Amino acid sequence: MKLRRSIGLTLVLSHCLISLDESRTVEIEVSRAISDREGNTYESVYSIDGLPQQEFLLNQNYPNGSVVAIKFKGTRAYVIEPSRSVDPQRRWIWIAPLWLAFNAPKQANSRARFFVEQALNAGFHIVGLDVGTTCGSPKGAMLYEEFYRWLVRTRHLSPKVRLFGWSNGGLISYAWAFRYPDHVERILCVNPVTDMRTWPKLEKVSGPERITPAGLAYPYDSVKELERHLPEVNPIDNLASLAKRRIPIFHIHGDKDELVPMSANSVELVNRYRALGGDARLEVFEGLGHGAREFLDYQPAADFLTAR
């Protein structure tokens, strides 16, 4: 049952200074989200150029979880803590894009709520970090790694995380995973982009038409330069480190997805991963496109995410 009561954010509970480089120091602030009356993106927390790209509301009242709002190095993040029993290993799930657990005015609301509630019931923490549509950029992956290290150190979460990528969250999740495979326990993706040539296409990744946030963009000035570096940065071309560690992967994808074609993204990734000796599974939803309702409460995917 969804509870409708509206309230706001408490005052800052903890507050520390982290030095990113010699030229600037950025605050990290943590506050307990106990209400949603003013649960917007809190644009004042953003200092990374180009963010936020998506409005979302930290306004979901999870009856079995408590939302902690975090300002992290120029962007917004959160941790949803289980309010009942906590997993003894303090395992956790990292959602990309982060707003899937909450209401996003321009998107369907709380698309991941089914999965989040089951994970909280199982004692898992839920985490999100706003990097925008980075398309898996190295800067975005580096910020992910900084947040990961902060979470493990200060929130005492498990050193192994379970990644949950949805649509363009596939690029975000895999871009961090292949660079830091020792931090990854398993990967679940729904209709994921794994090859940036299929979406948003290279001209939207680098160059004048790019959709990536300026502060986390690829370091290439043109599509031709990106093409030269593609084998280094395109997630679908960088699966060996994950396969070597036998990290299990599970994708669900609609075979009528015109936005993110299943064959070039999920089918191709699964085939390559298996060829490398990795464990990968693909569940095909016949006749369904990118935003179908059937993906929102698929129990086998939730079971994979919370498996013991």
Written as six digits, the tokens of 205 are: 């990744």
Torsion over CA: 87, 82, 96, 118 (sign): positive
The confidence score (pLDDT) of residue 55 equals 81
CA distance 301 to 306: 9
Q: Which residues of the chain have pLDDT under 50?
A: 1-26, 35-39
Three-class DSSP category at 103: strand
The confidence score (pLDDT) of residue 29 equals 85
Residue pair 68/32 in contact by the 8 Å Cβ criterion = yes
CA end-to-end distance (rounded Å), the chain: 26
263-266's contacts with Cβ under 8 Å and 24+ in sequence apart are 264/195, 264/197, 264/198, 265/170, 265/192, 265/193, 265/194, 265/195, 265/198, 265/199, 265/236, 266/189, 266/191, 266/192, 266/194
The confidence score (pLDDT) of residue 107 equals 57
The strand pair at 161-166 and 184-190 is best described as parallel
pTM of the full predicted structure? 0.89
In this structure, the dihedral spanned by the alpha carbons of residues 162, 166, 170 and 176, taken in order and rounded to 10 degrees, is -40
The confidence score (pLDDT) of residue 186 equals 98
Residue pair 211/171 in contact by the 8 Å Cβ criterion = no
pLDDT for 84-103, tens place per residue? 899 999 999 999 999 999 87
The confidence score (pLDDT) of residue 200 equals 98
Phi, psi dihedrals of residue 4, rounded to the nearest 5°: -100, 0
The confidence score (pLDDT) of residue 143 equals 98
DSSP state of 191: S
DSSP state of 122: T
Domain 9-306 class in CATH = alpha beta
CA distance 198 to 194: 8
What are the structural domain ranges in the chain? 9-306
Written as six digits, the tokens of 263 are: 């064959």
The confidence score (pLDDT) of residue 42 equals 64
In 3D space, the residue among 111, 93, 76 whose CA is nearest the CA of residue 190 turns out to be: 111
Written as six digits, the tokens of 200 are: 């948003």
Find all residues with CB under 8 Å of 154, minimum gap 6, and list them: none
What is the chain's length?
Answer: 308
The confidence score (pLDDT) of residue 154 equals 97
The confidence score (pLDDT) of residue 175 equals 98
